[in-house]
Structure 1
Amino acid sequence: MTTPDHAVAEAEADTVLRVVDITFGDAQHLLARHGLQLQLVADDAPIPGSYWGEPEAGIIGAQVFVRGDTPVHSMLHEACHLIVLPAERRAQVHTDATDSIEEEDATCFLQIVLADALPGVGRERLMRDMDAWGYSFRLGSTRAWFEQDAENARVWLAQRQLLPDLAAA
């Protein structure tokens, strides 16, 4: 996976689902089940801990920061970065969660699976939004990666017992 292309992101901005398009309480509840706090900042405020800059989600410790215009895929991606980290590492996170390819792959896989727990989102929509935003996988699409090339991510999550938690989500 490579980083989002923000030129493509801006051109596709109207096509992706935003935090304002979902029920915020549903997202808060989902993240709380994983020990995270979802914080909504004012529409004109900077997003604390945003690695890519606004409108992308930010992370600090166990908190995920979003605005109404933050893409849902960004909120889930940053939350999943925190979910895959052990508690002692999570507490130290500010803006940049990892430089590990394994953790990045696990994060992408988990965000797709968690999308099913958000009413009105689901994995199909999230994968389309990831493609529209500019995520790049070697098989050409998020769906192809998830279905054909993400076994290492699934195994990584299963070994850390992060997949069984999804049954409650």
Structure 2
Amino acid sequence: MLTLADIDHAAVAALLARYGLALARVADGEPIPGSYWGDSEAGLIGSTVYARGDTPLHSLLHEAAHLIVLPDERRAAVHTDATDSVEEEDAVCVLQCLLGDALPGVGRERVYADMDAWGYTFRLGSARAYVESDADSAWQWLHDRGLADAAARSLRLP
């Protein structure tokens, strides 16, 4: 599984900055502030994503996507848990895959594989199948909020 230590930290910070977010690197072995799952999983507080070197990249992207989809007034109040609906969670799963395309040497295919290895479950059996064939409502949720088109432009996606 790809971790923050495996990729260019500056590229991740720059990607998050495009959306008004900050990346806070946590020292190895220290607890990650705002982590919903604990262990090495990324955390959220306000507009900051917290991660250690051993944080899986898919986790960092997932938590960042939660902040990206929130309006500023809700983002400021986030601590640990950002989701308020299944629809939002589904949209975040799509967006985290798209964000992988914006990082050199990562790409959505790697994010799909790591999500599957981590244990995300989808009706069609894989993250890729979900995003490409079963996420119409998630794509619509992103589109309705101006995020699908903005993500495509920002990330230069088809």
5 Å-filtered alignment, 1:1-169, equals 16-166=1-151, 167-169=153-155
How far residue 143 of structure 1 moved from its aligned partner, in angstroms, is 1.0
CA-to-partner distance for each residue in 1:125-147, whole Å, 9 max, x for gaps? 10000000000011111111111
In 2, distance between residues paired with 1:104 and 1:79? 12
State the aligned residue count: 154
In 1, distance between residues paired with 2:150 and 2:128? 22
Structure of higher RCO (CA pairs closer than 8 Å, 6+ residues apart):
1
Percent identity, please.
Answer: 63
CA-to-partner distance for each residue in 1:1-49, whole Å, 9 max, x for gaps? xxxxxxxxxxxxxxx1000000000000000001100110100211000
CA-to-partner distance for each residue in 1:69-122, whole Å, 9 max, x for gaps? 000000000000111111111111000111410100010000001110001110
How far residue 163 of structure 1 moved from its aligned partner, in angstroms, is 2.0
In 1, distance between residues paired with 2:149 and 2:127? 23
In 2, distance between residues paired with 1:115 and 1:154? 16
TM-score, normalised with respect to structure 1: 0.89
Runs of 4+ residues over 3 Å off in structure 1:
none
How far residue 154 of structure 1 moved from its aligned partner, in angstroms, is 0.8
Unaligned runs of 5+ in 2: none
SS at 1:144 equivalent? helix
In 2, distance between residues paired with 1:98 and 1:115? 21
In 2, distance between residues paired with 1:91 and 1:98? 14
In 2, distance between residues paired with 1:117 and 1:143? 17
Letter in 1 for 2:101: D
Unaligned runs of 5+ in 1: 1-15
In 2, distance between residues paired with 1:140 and 1:99? 25
In 2, distance between residues paired with 1:163 and 1:138? 22
How far residue 165 of structure 1 moved from its aligned partner, in angstroms, is 2.4
TM-score, normalised with respect to structure 2: 0.95
